[in-house]
C-alpha cells in the first residue's frame, strides 16, 4: 500500500458548514438587503462560471449584480458576505492535527477575491499549503489540471495523496489521476467518522487519532 503523504480538502461544504460558497453569499446578501433569496441566488448564478474560472471577480461583476437586483448595494457588503462564511471548526481541528505528519492543502472551485480575503481572515495558510483555487488555475475540478497543480506544489504523487470533497462529481478527475478520494456528507458532518476512516483505510493518523 502506498504511504499517504498529502491530504487535500475541499473548502465549501468540507471546511465550512455551508454546502457551497454561493449559498453563503446569496443567503447573507438576501438577509442584509431584504431581497428574496432566490432572486439573489439567480443573479449570482449568472456569473458563477466566469468567477470560478478566473475570468472576472466579485468586485468587477458587482455593478451588473446591482443592476440585475435593481438595487444600488454598497460594495462593503461584499466583504461582510465573505466574513459570514461559517468555518467547520471540527474539520479545521482535524486538519491542524494532520498537519504535523502530512502535507495538508485545499483544492477548491472558488472566486479569487473571496479566497484571497478568507486566507487572511480565517488564517488559512497557517494550516493549509498549498491552497489551489480554480479562479487562479483557470479551470475547475472537472479537469485534472487543478489537481495536478496541487500535487506539484506538494511534491507528491497522486497515489500518495487523498482528496476529500462533498460533491461526488468532483471526485471523478482526481480518482482518474490515481488520487485516493473520499466523499464527505456535509449534512451529516461526521468528522469523527472521517478521521476513523482515514486511519483504518489509509493509516492516516494525527495527534487526536490513532
At residue 210, the pLDDT reads: 40
Cα dihedral 59, 60, 62, 65 in deg (nearest 10)? -150
DSSP state for residue 209 in the 8-state scheme: B
The alpha carbon dihedral of 197, 198, 201, 205 has a sign of: negative
How is 96-110 classified by DSSP, letter by letter? HHHTTTSEEEEEE--
Percent of the chain with pLDDT over 70: 98
Q: Which of 159, 154, 162, 164 is nearest to 189 (CA)?
A: 164
Distance of alpha carbon 133 from alpha carbon 108, whole angstroms: 5
Q: Which helix (H) or strand (E) holds 131?
A: strand 131-133
3-53 pLDDT, tens digit per residue, is 899 999 999 999 999 999 999 999 999 999 999 999 999 999 999 999 999
The fold of 6-18+87-202 is Rossmann fold (3.40.50)
Distance of alpha carbon 61 from alpha carbon 52, whole angstroms: 13
At residue 2, the pLDDT reads: 73
125-146 pLDDT, tens digit per residue, is 999 999 999 999 999 999 999 9
User: pTM value?
Assistant: 0.96
| All structural domains of the chain with their residue ranges | 6-18+87-202, 21-83
Amino acid at each position: 500500500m502506498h504511504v499517504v503523504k498529502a491530504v487535500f480538502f475541499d473548502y465549501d461544504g468540507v471546511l465550512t458548514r455551508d454546502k457551497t460558497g454561493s449559498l453563503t453569499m446569496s443567503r447573507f446578501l438576501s438577509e442584509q438587503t431584504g431581497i428574496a433569496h432566490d432572486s439573489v441566488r439567480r443573479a449570482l448564478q449568472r456569473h458563477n462560471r466566469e468567477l470560478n474560472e478566473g475570468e472576472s471577480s466579485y468586485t468587477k461583476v458587482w455593478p451588473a449584480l446591482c443592476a440585475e437586483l435593481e438595487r444600488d448595494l454598497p460594495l462593503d457588503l461584499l466583504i461582510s458576505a465573505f466574513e459570514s462564511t461559517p468555518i467547520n471548526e471540527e474539520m479545521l481541528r482535524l486538519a491542524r492535527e494532520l498537519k504535523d505528519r502530512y502535507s495538508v492543502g485545499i483544492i477548491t472551485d472558488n472566486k479569487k477575491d473571496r479566497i484571497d480575503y478568507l486566507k487572511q481572515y480565517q488564517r488559512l495558510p497557517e494550516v493549509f499549503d498549498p491552497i489551489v483555487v480554480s479562479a487562479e488555475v483557470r479551470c475547475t475540478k472537472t479537469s485534472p489540471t487543478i489537481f495536478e497543480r496541487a500535487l506539484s506544489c506538494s511534491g507528491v504523487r497522486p497515489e500518495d495523496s487523498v482528496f476529500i470533497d462533498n460533491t461526488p462529481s468532483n471526485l471523478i478527475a482526481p480518482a482518474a489521476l490515481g488520487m485516493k478520494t473520499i466523499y464527505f456528507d456535509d449534512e451529516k458532518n461526521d468528522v469523527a467518522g472521517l478521521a476513523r476512516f482515514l486511519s483504518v483505510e489509509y493509516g492516516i493518523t494525527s495527534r487526536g487519532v490513532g
